[in-house]
Every structure is written in C-alpha cells, then in structure tokens.
Amino acid sequence: MTAPAPPSETLRASLATLLDGLPPKQAAQAVDRLIANYRGATPTDTPILRDRADVAAYAAYRMPATFEAVHAALEALAEAVPDWTPADHTDVGGGTGAATWAVSATWPGDRAVTVLDWSDPALALGREIALANPALKDARWQRARIGKDLTLPATTDLVTVSYVLNELTPADRTALVDTAAASARSVVIVEAGTPAGYARVIEARDRLIAAGFRVAAPCPHSAACPIAPGEDWCHFSARVSRSSLHRQVKGGSLPYEDEKFSYVAATRLPVTPAPARVIRRPQIRKGQVLLDLCEPDEQLTRRTITKRHGDLYKAARDTAWGDSWPPADS
C-alpha cells in the first residue's frame, strides 16, 4: 500500500488548483494589496479577505509560508512536551486553515478541530481545501469576530493564533490572549518576524506567563526575555518552496524563499524546554562553528565549537537556526 503524502505535499497540490480561471494580473493585484495589509495595520472591523479572488490569492501565496512557520513552532512544542498529543485544536483567526494542516503534520491522527474566522469566503475555501486532508474531514469552520467578544470552549487542548495579532487593536489583542489562556492547555502564537511582530509576541508571552503558563519554546526559560527592547528582536526562519504565483509577484528566480517569523509556545503541562536555543543562523567557518544562543540563565551568548570538540563539532555543523542546543543525542 502506498503511504499517504505528507500534509505539506497534499496542501501544495490542493493549492495548485485554486487559481484556475483567475487572471494572473488579478491574482497578483490581490496579493499586492494583501501584502500591504499584512505589513501594515487593519481595523478590527474590516476583514482583510473580502471575496473568493482575495482568498484564492491569499491561500496560494501565504498558506505554504504560514504552514511552515506554524509547523516549526509546533515541532518545538512537541519536542518540549514529548509525551503529549492534543485531543482537540481551536485555530483562532485561522482563515483558510494553514495551522490546522500544521497540527496534523506534527501530530498525525484524528482530533476535534475548530477554525474561527470572521471571513466567510476564507472559511468556505478552507473547508474546500481541507477535503484533501483526512485529519480535517470533520473540522468545524465557524464565523466569529476575533477580539474582546470572542468565546472559546471552557477547555481545549491546543489553541493556535497565527498572523492574527497584527490585525487587532491593542485592546482586542489583550482580550484574545487572555481568552486563549483561560481556555487552553497549550497556546501557540506566531507573528511576522519583524520588530513589531516580535513585540506582539513578547506582549502575549508575558500575559501567558502571568496566567500560569510555562514557556515551552523557543525560550529555554520563562523569565524575562534578555533582548533589550529596541536593540534587537527574536525571530526564526522557515524554508518555503515558491509557487508560480510567488515567482510572478516577486519576480525571483530561486525556487524557495525564507519565511521569517516570531513565536511563543506556552503550556500548563509539565514541560522540558530546550537547554538553549540557536537564535541566529549558525556561522560555519574553517574548523569552527559560531552559535548565537539564548541560555537558560536568561543570557545571550556566542559559543564557538571547533574540531577539537569532536562529535559536538559535527553536530554544530548540522545545527540550524531555531534548533535546540546541544542536540539530545550529543
């Protein structure tokens, strides 16, 4: 029997058919406007995704990047809580459901899934795409205003909030994080890997810790972030294969691009965070590897791993930005 394709490949195959019949120029114009909103500020009473053309362009252009970023954050959570699998998942502001695909790629199997969003066209298209993923066959796609009036189940195992906080007013951001904290055993929040995105993640991180959560990732501790505000920001990178729409809009020749994102994964469960986290792309030089690390003692350090470190040096050469350090098997 042929093994089923990974969720990432199934998602890409489903997205490839979305733009059939949509003029390339119209798709590109929709993406340009969506990127402007994604990078700017949007009132909470104005859904970004207005119609089928918007949603198709958004899904084809943004879903692969959102999937890869959220999947990376979820994998870090799974590493920190290895004996746990969420029995149910609520994706807040989930749009076309990229985070639900990422959850199914991290923890295979069936679970109760609910996607909440205020855009009917996004929910409709998300439901359509999800038909290709058996883990999402019974998912609920529900229209809801995301903000202070949002209600969630009294208890839910996992709540994801990806690329949503940027669309909300400060008051609605606070209300959303507090609502998620009151409902969930674990919360994963992903934002753009910009200084502003990082600031929103840190604000949410602080509220989750105040609500009794422990940080599972990326931080190796639940104390204050050691990065001085305004001087730097914590973010990571996920490799994304470029679709034809990506190449058309950006005019790039490379078959991939790197999605920069910031995130926090927090939980009420017993957790073993990373011993340290690689917070920049490792610098590989002749006979040595330079690793920039966030340490459990709330310090940022640079470690130089050389050939004389033996197996640790080999591990450092294979270590990627965002990985825990040292590797568990080192």
Per-chain mean pLDDT for the chain? 88
Q: Which residue has the tokens 């019974």?
A: 138
pLDDT exceeds 60 at position 249: no
> What is the model's pLDDT at position 244?
66
Residue 134 burial (C-beta neighbours within 10 Å; 0-12, 13-18, 19+): middle
- Which pLDDT tens digit goes with each residue over 47-95? 555 667 777 777 887 889 999 999 999 999 999 999 999 999 999 999 9
Mean pLDDT of 275-290: 96
> What is the model's pLDDT at position 246?
61
> What are the Cα distances from residue 312, in Å, to 3, 71, 326?
35, 27, 8
- Which pLDDT tens digit goes with each residue over 147-178? 888 999 889 999 999 999 998 999 999 999 99
> According to CATH, where is 3.40.50.150 located in the chain?
7-267
> What is the model's pLDDT at position 132?
92
> What is the model's pLDDT at position 38?
53
- Which pLDDT tens digit goes with each residue over 54-64? 777 778 878 89
- Which pLDDT tens digit goes with each residue over 16-48? 777 666 666 766 777 777 666 655 555 545 555
- Which pLDDT tens digit goes with each residue over 202-242? 999 999 999 999 999 999 999 999 998 888 999 999 998 87
> What is the model's pLDDT at position 121?
87
Q: Residue 121's closest CA among 143, 89, 148, 145?
A: 143
Separation of alpha carbons 113 and 168, rounded Å? 23
Residue 295 main-chain phi, psi, to 5 deg? -100, 160
Mean pLDDT of 115-129: 91
Superfamily for domain range 7-267? Vaccinia Virus protein VP39 (3.40.50.150)
> What is the model's pLDDT at position 41?
52
> What is the model's pLDDT at position 241?
80
Query: Percent of the chain, pLDDT > 90?
Result: 68
Residue 249 burial (C-beta neighbours within 10 Å; 0-12, 13-18, 19+): buried
More confident residue, 255 or 249: 255
